[in-house]
Amino acid sequence: MSQTKNYPPVSYSDYLKTGKLLELQSPRSLEFGKEAHEELLFIIVHQTYELWFRQILHEINSILGIFNQSVVREEEMITVVSRLSRIVEIQRLLVDQVSVLETMTPLDFLEFRDMLYPASGFQSVQWRLIENKLGLRPKSRLKYNAQPYHAHVNPEEQKLLLESENAPSLFDQVDAWLSRMPFLGAKDFNFASEYATAVKDMLDADEANVRRFAKGDEDLQRNLKSIEDTRAVFSSLLSEEKYKTLVEAGTFRLQHRSIQAALFILLYRDQPIFGLPFQLLTRLQDVDELMTTWRYRHALMVHRMLGTKIGTGGSSGHQYLKAATDQHRVFGDFFNLTTFLIPRSRLPKLPDSVSKRLGFHSP
């Protein structure tokens, strides 16, 4: 018989260390003799951000541990998707929290803003670790006051950030995982070849309709050019050589085999074996979209609070934040990949031998 362990009793406040926690809000305005009422809100909101950042890092680190294997088991993929979903829900809270901070007016903020120099949210080490661990590349980062982002933190924190830059990121590990997908080159079904034929048939049908319904030569030539441009776009994904030009242009980062595997998953997501991989790719897009949304909301809030003033850390304020919104994306490959989706009615039919392997059929 198993025995229940007799753990010593603990109170709510002792377990959560609420005494220590509530001592951590120390408005600077009190130190200078006149409390600014809104400063407590400002501190609590930002401390709450940092607590949620810690939880996000906890989840990311666990996911990195799972992907850092040569084989990722199905039950572990359930864990990965579940933890990514948790990150997404936390991100929604982070976005909503901006609205709480916006209950403070610009004049309220000015009561204590000058006391914050040169502190800045840019110095949040945990946020930078989240970006690095997800896969934001150093070369994609905007300069901050003409300096690298890690130049504005202490040496110990700088070491931590640089180590995270050099470690495999979630993007790297998902790329490696996709590249190992076994169904692309099956003997009885070559995905790239079958997909190329389906795309050709689809565009040939489009061209036939254009020629049939064109309203004059100008309309015909314009639409024919559009179809030829579309053919070129699709062919760039199928040709490894042409795909390299997309990587060099920054349109994609994934390996050629990985991008085809991701496309296979998106197109055949109704197959049982692709259920969790499809959810994984969807959650990664959710994470990227919500990071972008948070940055955008933050940029708008800073503009609302400061106008065109520089930030307390000396940055260009909302202009820097606004620029980072687009440039600091991580999983843009999966957004761009939807360019290459084709209607279900055009999908090549899977041979029974492949369909059985994808559908968990018993032998």
Q: What pTM does this model have?
A: 0.90
* Sequence-distant (≥ 6) Cβ neighbours of residue 81 within 8 angstroms: 276, 279, 280, 283
CA distance 272 to 317: 48
**pLDDT tens column, 59-103:** 999 999 999 988 888 889 999 999 999 999 999 999 999 999 999
Tokens of 323: 């620029």
CA distance 220 to 226: 10
User: Under a CB-based contact definition with an 8 Å cutoff, are residues 255 and 172 in contact?
Assistant: no
Q: How many CA atoms lie within 13 A of 271 on its CB side?
A: 23
Sequence ranges of the domains in the chain: 38-358
CA distance 268 to 270: 5
> DSSP state, 69?
S
Taking Cα atoms as reference points, which of 199, 117, 131 lies closest to residue 165?
131
- Per residue of the chain (363 residues), give pLDDT as tens: 556 688 999 999 999 999 999 999 999 999 998 899 999 999 999 999 999 999 999 999 999 999 998 888 888 999 999 999 999 999 999 999 999 999 999 999 999 999 998 888 878 999 999 999 999 998 888 777 667 778 778 899 999 999 999 999 999 999 999 999 887 777 788 889 999 999 999 999 999 999 998 888 888 999 999 999 999 999 999 899 999 999 999 889 999 999 999 999 999 999 989 999 999 999 999 999 999 999 999 889 988 888 876 655 545 566 777 777 888 899 999 999 999 999 999 999 988 888 887 775 444
CATH 1.20.1260.10 given to domain 38-358: no
For the chain, the C-alpha Rg in angstroms (whole number) is 26
CA distance 251 to 258: 14
Tokens of 147: 């300096």
β-strand partners of 313: none
> DSSP state, 151?
G
* Sequence-distant (≥ 6) Cβ neighbours of residue 99 within 8 angstroms: none
CA distance 357 to 363: 9
What distances in angstroms separate CA 357 from CA 271, 315, 318, one per listed residue? 10, 55, 52
β-strand partners of 355: none
What distances in angstroms separate CA 308 from CA 68, 135, 305, 323, one per listed residue? 45, 31, 9, 14
